[in-house]
Amino acid sequence: QISSLIIAKDLMKYGSFKTKTWRIPHQVMNSNDIEIISNFLIGLYDSDGSVSGYAISLTSSSQKGLIDTLNILHKLGIKGKVRSDRQYFTITITSRPNIIQFRNIIGFTIQRKMKRFESMYKLKRNAI
């Protein structure tokens, strides 16, 4: 939720951000700038991402938005899988190389998510 009308109007220039129909703005999708892509993903994962067990997940009711997300994750060398439970779609990132790449390029800025993430990373690193 944004309370600034100026910011809200500016954001709407980049596309639809409705729950079921959002897509990644074409400026991000078509970019080869890792900083632009990673900053977008940081915001997305900080707001809708989660860490549980040995997986990083992102859940949404927008299938197209998650397919876009998976495509830009692939640009960064991060592989994940999209699953559906009829109402929601989830991208799950699991393997150690993908988790390390996620940490190096994206990570989390929300402390509670970062603590869970770092705990998972240490467990995976020590297990090998």
pLDDT in tens, the chain (128 residues): 556 666 656 555 655 555 566 788 889 999 999 999 999 999 999 999 999 888 999 999 999 999 999 999 999 999 999 999 888 999 999 998 999 899 989 989 998 888 888 887 564 444 44
| Dist. CA 9–CA 14, nearest whole Å | 10
pLDDT at position 126 is: 43
Return the bridge partners of 92, or none.
Answer: 57, 81
* pTM score, whole prediction: 0.78
Angle at 71 between CA 127 and CA 57, to 5 degrees: 45
Whole-number pLDDT of residue 127:
44
The pLDDT score that the predictor gives to residue 125 is 42
Q: Which of 121, 110, 127 is nearest to 56 (CA)?
A: 121
pLDDT at 86: 82
